[in-house]
Amino acid sequence: MSQATAIDTGNTEKWQAQDGAHHLHPFTNPNDLLQKPPRIIESARGVYLTDSDGNQLLDMMAGLWCVNMGYGQQDLVEAAHKQIQQLPYYNAFFKTSTPPAAELSALLAEVTPAHLDHAFFTSSGSEANDTVLRLVWRYWEVMGKPEKRVVISRKNAYHGSTIASSSLGGMEEMHKQGGIIPDIVHVEQPNWFAKRCELGKDLDREEFGRQAAQSIADKIEELGVDKVAAFIAEPIQGAGGVIVPPESYWPEVKKICEHYGILLVADEVSCGFGRTGEWFGTYYYDLKPDLMPIAKGLSSGYLPIGGVMVADRIMDALINQGGEFNHGYTYSGHPVCAAVAIANIKLMQRDNIVQTVRDSTAPYLQKRLRELGEHPLVGEVRGVGMFGALELVRDKANYIRFDKDQGVGTICRDFCFENNLVMRAVGDAMIISPPLIVQPDEIDIFIERAWQCLDLTQKAIA
């Protein structure tokens, strides 16, 4: 990796003033930013961000679950540079394509499961899930069953922030402000920790997993299978708090989808591209999804690109029975974004990163993460691959959480941020999703800083 560019530290106040006056931030209370202006991130290398005052932050979130190959990868920079000179834009609407769009679709067919042979391109995960909904409905229409419309999702799922994708998601706070479109229903999430807190006692993990899966079958029976089109889920819920389902859950869900003949959609936007220690969460849980939305790690976040991998049986139905698929985005298959995604996947293959994660760095991360479970504040540690979560609780033994209003997760997150560690809070769950290239010595630094910040949090709330 080349040298970091020199930092000009004189501009922080200028940027903060501009930002405060003109930038409306996503998922942020604007009033909070007036009280405390944002930190300006100016450059990055590897797993470290540098702010406009020259501080180095250890980024254990890989940006927003996306910078899987870390910052400063020159292959990706050069791929963008080369492509933007040769052909900065052309579309795929006019019976045309571009070399990067064609090559990326072939490469994706190679790295995803064998029955997923076609890619529809989008610019984000949210758009990918809008496309999922269009494809699900289109499929049942061409199959002569247009009354199959309902998509079953899960409470606390995250599928994006457009109206369709947030409706597919199960975030109550988003539904309160954005509403929810028809024909989407939500069932229980396989969140063993939350369930034990709700009950205030222990609970058989595998039995609970089967029950959570059964809630899908119950919903299908309630609505009538002739009305139900699909079930959508993240293999491991990311933004909902890194919720790793019990082992019993996915085998049961697979059986239910097969039994009722509904489509299975595996949202791989955060699980995909190595995060679980496999190329996709679909391999980790041995799933056979009909549709597989992807984004984030597809380009390691260097440029915005997403897509939906489409199973052969759906493609065949569209080819044999359909007319035009009346759906697409100006930037579907954008050549520069596609060129960067190709460079990213090739880099992953060349460096054997998924294998390194699975066999070496992820086991080390998971082992050290569990040491944090000895901290008095931590009620549960969970994680798979390069996903991890620490649940902060008031009373470990009795599964008693803090009051929501106390904002303990946010307090801890703020301590982390002040101490140059990026860890995210989802409620009182502290979340990590580091770049896949994170090294053992960097994991050690993370554990040390995390423990310090847990201590600071404990003192602050005492």
Ligand X SMILES: *Cc1c(COP(=O)(O)O)cnc(C)c1O
Binding site for ligand X (CB under 6 A): 65, 124-126, 129, 158-160, 234, 238-239, 267, 269-270, 295-296, 306
Q: Do residues 420 and 410 lie in contact, with contact meaning Cβ atoms separated by under 8 Å? A: no
Q: Is 71 helix (H, G, I), strand (E, B) or coil?
A: strand
Taking the complex as a whole, the smallest distance from the CB of residue 340 to ligand X amounts, in Å, to 15
Instruction: Report the amino acid identity of residue 446.
Output: F
Taking the complex as a whole, the smallest distance from the CB of residue 240 to ligand X amounts, in Å, to 9
Taking the complex as a whole, the smallest distance from the CB of residue 277 to ligand X amounts, in Å, to 17
**Shorter beta-carbon distance to ligand X: residue 123 or 211:** 123
Closest CA to 339 of 366, 306, 308, 303: 303
Q: Do residues 340 and 299 lie in contact, with contact meaning Cβ atoms separated by under 8 Å? A: yes
Report the distance separating Cα 143 and Cα 321, nearest Å.
Answer: 8
Taking the complex as a whole, the smallest distance from the CB of residue 155 to ligand X amounts, in Å, to 15
Q: Do residues 219 and 183 lie in contact, with contact meaning Cβ atoms separated by under 8 Å? A: no
Q: How far is CA 290 from CA 262, 337, 422, in A?
A: 9, 25, 35
Burial of 330 (0-12, 13-18, 19+ CB in 10 A): exposed
Taking the complex as a whole, the smallest distance from the CB of residue 35 to ligand X amounts, in Å, to 26
Taking the complex as a whole, the smallest distance from the CB of residue 123 to ligand X amounts, in Å, to 8
Residues, the chain, total? 462
Report the distance separating Cα 90 and Cα 105, nearest Å.
Answer: 16
Nearest residue to the partner ligand X, using Cβ: 125
Radius of gyration of the chain (CA): 22
Report the distance separating Cα 56 and Cα 41, nearest Å.
Answer: 10
Q: Which two tokens stand for residue 278?
A: 């496999």
**Shorter beta-carbon distance to ligand X: residue 189 or 211:** 189
Taking the complex as a whole, the smallest distance from the CB of residue 126 to ligand X amounts, in Å, to 3
Taking the complex as a whole, the smallest distance from the CB of residue 165 to ligand X amounts, in Å, to 6
Report the distance separating Cα 87 and Cα 107, nearest Å.
Answer: 20
**Shorter beta-carbon distance to ligand X: residue 168 or 339:** 168
Instruction: Report the amino acid identity of residue 264.
Output: L
Q: How far is CA 462 from CA 405, 436, 459, in A?
A: 15, 36, 5
Q: Which two tokens stand for residue 396?
A: 């470990």
Instruction: Report the amino acid identity of residue 95.
Output: K
Taking the complex as a whole, the smallest distance from the CB of residue 239 to ligand X amounts, in Å, to 5
**Shorter beta-carbon distance to ligand X: residue 177 or 320:** 177
Q: How far is CA 98 from CA 95, 194, 298, 334, 335, in A?
A: 11, 47, 18, 9, 7
Sole residue written with tokens 């007319």? 323
Taking the complex as a whole, the smallest distance from the CB of residue 295 to ligand X amounts, in Å, to 5
**Shorter beta-carbon distance to ligand X: residue 296 or 424:** 296
